């Protein structure tokens, strides 16, 4: 059984700041309920001392792997129908460092910007994509199975106007720009972005390789995934297909890491 650690929001903030000296990484966000600044500093200091006594350094290797991984996967999802409820948000950070894999999940608090704590689960580093997809709501694959999309910035912003003016809009139905516009007009029940990012590069921040996937759960149609690269298209995906798409992004990052190390 994979080991899981659970921390309050303040405990996780303190652990992270003590190790990195930085704020929590995306996609996490925490709003303190302690109203006074100096009271907050005191609570942080007391929490730090307590964690130092209880953990005794046993958690350092876990947090270091998460903070300085070979690659990380961030998941930021939201329920578009949710009117401010915390349950409508999904925030996950998965990290792969050597032979270790960890998945950090922010537990929903009272509002979308609050947290009720964090869980950190150790897992097979090759199973990060499986773990992420398993955390998403169970949704049928999108139908139709593939929808071509207009390339962002390709100058198709007047499609809606064209459809309104045309007395026979159906004649434009096969145009990629039209199909793309119709796809994005459907409000998703849930949507989000998955970023797969190289942990560091010998060439500095500009050398870091990144890949992005977007998913959209469309009522009456199912789940679609979009890779932010050409050819642009929305693919209907089940859990297996979506996992495969994430793993393809992971393979791209691993390839970039190996190329750098062999240079």
Residue labelled with tokens 């026979």:
168
Given this model, what pLDDT does residue 109 score? 80
Given this model, what pLDDT does residue 65 score? 97
Q: Which of 106-115, 196-205, 217-226 has the lowest mean pLDDT?
A: 106-115
Please say whether the dihedral angle defined by the alpha carbons of residues 195, 200, 201 and 207, taken in this order, is positive or negative.
positive
Q: What is the C-alpha to C-alpha distance for residues 253 and 189, in angstroms, rounded to an integer?
A: 30
Q: What is the C-alpha to C-alpha distance for residues 237 and 143, in angstroms, rounded to an integer?
A: 9
Q: How many CB atoms lie within 10 A of CB 84?
A: 9
Q: How many CB atoms lie within 10 A of CB 240?
A: 11
With a cut of 80, say whether residue 49 has pLDDT above it. yes
Length of the chain measured in residues: 263
Per residue in 140-181, pLDDT (tens digit) is 999 999 999 988 876 554 555 554 555 444 444 458 888 888
Q: How many CB atoms lie within 10 A of CB 146?
A: 12
| pTM of full prediction above 0.75 | yes
Residue labelled with tokens 């000296």:
21
Residue labelled with tokens 């390839």:
255
3-state SS, residue 184: helix
| Residue partners of 259: CB distance under 8 A and separation at least 6 | none
| Residue partners of 251: CB distance under 8 A and separation at least 6 | none
User: In 3D, which of 113, 92, 118 has the Cα closest to residue 6?
Assistant: 118
Q: What is the C-alpha to C-alpha distance for residues 250 and 195, in angstroms, rounded to an integer?
A: 10
Q: How many CB atoms lie within 10 A of CB 81?
A: 12
**Tokens found for residue 98:** 């050597």
Given this model, what pLDDT does residue 82 score? 59
Residue labelled with tokens 């071509």:
148
Residue labelled with tokens 């270091």:
64
User: In 3D, which of 239, 216, 238 has the Cα closest to residue 226?
Assistant: 216
Per residue in 58-68, pLDDT (tens digit) is 899 999 999 99
Q: How many CB atoms lie within 10 A of CB 127?
A: 16
Q: What is the mean pLDDT of residues 31-44?
A: 93
Contact between 190 and 135 (Cβ < 8 Å): no
């Amino acid at each position: 059984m994979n080991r899981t650690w659970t921390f309050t929001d303040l405990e996780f903030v303190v652990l992270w700041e003590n190790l990195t000296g930085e704020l929590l990484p995306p996609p996490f966000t925490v709003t303190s309920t302690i109203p006074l600044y100096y009271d907050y500093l005191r609570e942080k200091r007391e929490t730090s001392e307590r964690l130092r006594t209880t953990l005794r350094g046993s958690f350092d290797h876990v947090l270091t792997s998460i903070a300085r991984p070979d690659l990380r996967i961030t998941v930021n999802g939201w329920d578009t129908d949710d009117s401010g409820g915390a349950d409508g948000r999904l925030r996950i950070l998965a990290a792969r460092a050597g032979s270790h894999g960890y998945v950090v999940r922010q537990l929903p608090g009272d509002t979308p910007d609050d947290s009720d704590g964090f869980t950190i689960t150790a897992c097979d580093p090759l199973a990060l994509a499986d773990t992420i997809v398993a955390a998403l709501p169970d949704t049928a694959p999108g139908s139709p199975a593939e929808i071509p999309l207009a390339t962002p910035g390709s100058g198709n912003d007047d499609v809606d106007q064209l459809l309104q003016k045309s007395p026979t809009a159906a004649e434009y139905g096969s145009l990629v720009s039209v199909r793309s516009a119709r796809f994005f007009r459907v409000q998703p029940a849930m949507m989000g972005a998955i970023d797969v990012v190289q942990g560091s590069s010998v060439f500095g921040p500009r050398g870091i390789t990144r890949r992005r996937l977007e998913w959209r759960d469309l009522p009456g149609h199912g789940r679609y995934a979009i890779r932010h690269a050409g050819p642009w298209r929305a693919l209907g995906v089940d859990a297996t297909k979506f996992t495969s798409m994430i793993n393809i992004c992971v393979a791209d990052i691993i390839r970039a890491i190996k190329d750098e190390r062999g240079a």
